[in-house]
Amino acid sequence: MAEFSGKTVVILGATGVVGSGVAKAFLDAGAFVVAVSRSAAKLEELKKTLKVGPGAAFATAVGDFKDESTTGRAMAAIDQALGGRAIDHVVSSQGFVKFGPPPTQSTAAQLTDALDDGLVINFHAARALLPGIKQRPATFTMVSGGLAHMPPPDPAMWMGTLKNAAVNAFTLGLAAETQRDLVRVNTLCIHFGVAPIGGSQNQFGLAAERDTVGLAPAFLALARGKQKGQVICLGSWGDVDESEVPLDGATGAWSRLSLQGAAGGEGPRGLNQPGPRARPFNVQAPTRVRLHHAVGAAVARGGGAPC
């Protein structure tokens, strides 16, 4: 029997680079997957990419968590897709790293927009989904990035630093709220670029060592493990590979990678005991130049990079 047979996983942002890999990971592991996206067309593309056929343990829901009104509609679509199933795991890979002018040249509206499409959508998702799974041995996992811990390689990326750091901080708030509950809230903070399924270039158009399917061990390990209230920094693909090591009791094989500890001491460290310093997010000079040009082109288009 597949490891996650009988389990139900809701994936927010399922058509994004990371989210699509997560969807494949849990589908291949036997779970019933509910893929949620803002775009019905992208959900259809995802079904083709994953080769989802009739009768597959896969359902879709079109929805957005940008405000209370859209959240209500998204939850109605998710409930319909669930078909009465209880949720075992939620993965929120929502958001978009916005590119724009440096901080003092940005507008308040640009700042608000960046946080809306990173922190706020996760806030609404948590408000809507966490209460229903708090008293179950479930998980709620968010995704952030290494920009949270570094001066951005290009000033145009500063909003990505802010967005990712905000998601990490939000994790600790949720950890404090749920420290006595059964649900485990964590965030995977990915410090490297990832290619889409079958691709070779990351979100910035630079060469990627692996595609998003390679992240599967990390997300599956969190779902099966004991980590609670953790921001887990993946500094390299080697850290992802390490996640395949069986977790050791409450501390887990990943304890040295944790940036922050669990509330109430459930995991290796308490909120008042900071974890080890995050690994440096180094960008070598040639890559920095290519990244600068890629970001500049995205800014000219008024765009950014999907999570």
Task: For 184-207, write each residue's pLDDT tens digit.
Answer: 999 999 999 999 999 999 877 889
Record the tokens describing residue 88, joined without a space.
Answer: 């075992």
The pLDDT > 70 percentage for the chain reads 79
Cα 78 from chain centroid (whole Å): 18
Query: Angle, nearest 10°, between helix axes 68-82 and 121-129?
Result: 50
Mean pLDDT value of segment 270-292: 39
* Both structure tokens of 201: 């270039």
Phi, then psi, of 227 in degrees rounded to 5: -60, 140
Q: Are 46 and 59 in contact (CB under 8 A)?
A: no
Give the model's pLDDT for residue 304: 52
Q: Following DSSP, what letter does each residue of 7-63 receive, concatenated?
A: -EEEEETTTSHHHHHHHHHHHHTT-EEEEEES-HHHHHHHHHHTT--TT-SEEEEE-
Q: Look at 242-246, 285-289, 298-302 and tell me which has the smallest mean pLDDT.
A: 285-289
With a CB cutoff of 8 Å and minimum separation 6, the contacts of 123 are 170
Residue-wise pLDDT tens digits, 27-85: 999 999 999 999 999 999 999 999 999 899 999 999 999 999 999 999 999 999 999 99
pLDDT reported for residue 303: 53
Report the distance separating Cα 231 and Cα 259, nearest Å: 6
The predicted pLDDT at position 30 comes to 97
CATH 2.160.10.10 fits 8-306, yes or no: no
Statement: the pTM of the whole predicted model exceeds 0.85: no
Whether 19 has a pLDDT exceeding 60, the answer reads: yes
Q: Is 166 helix (H, G, I), strand (E, B) or coil?
A: helix
12 close to 19: Cβ distance less than 8 angstroms: yes
State mean pLDDT over 283-303: 46
- Tens-digit pLDDT profile for residues 221-233: 999 999 999 999 9
As a whole number, mean pLDDT of residues 282-300 equals 45
Residue found under tokens 């896969």: 58
The stretch 89-98 carries a mean pLDDT of 90
pLDDT, one tens digit per residue, over 232-280 is: 999 999 999 888 755 443 334 444 454 443 333 333 333 223 333 344 4
Is 50 exceeded by the pLDDT of residue 282?
no
DSSP 94: -
Query: What amino acid occupies position 144?
Result: S
**94-98, 174-178, 285-289: least confident range:** 285-289
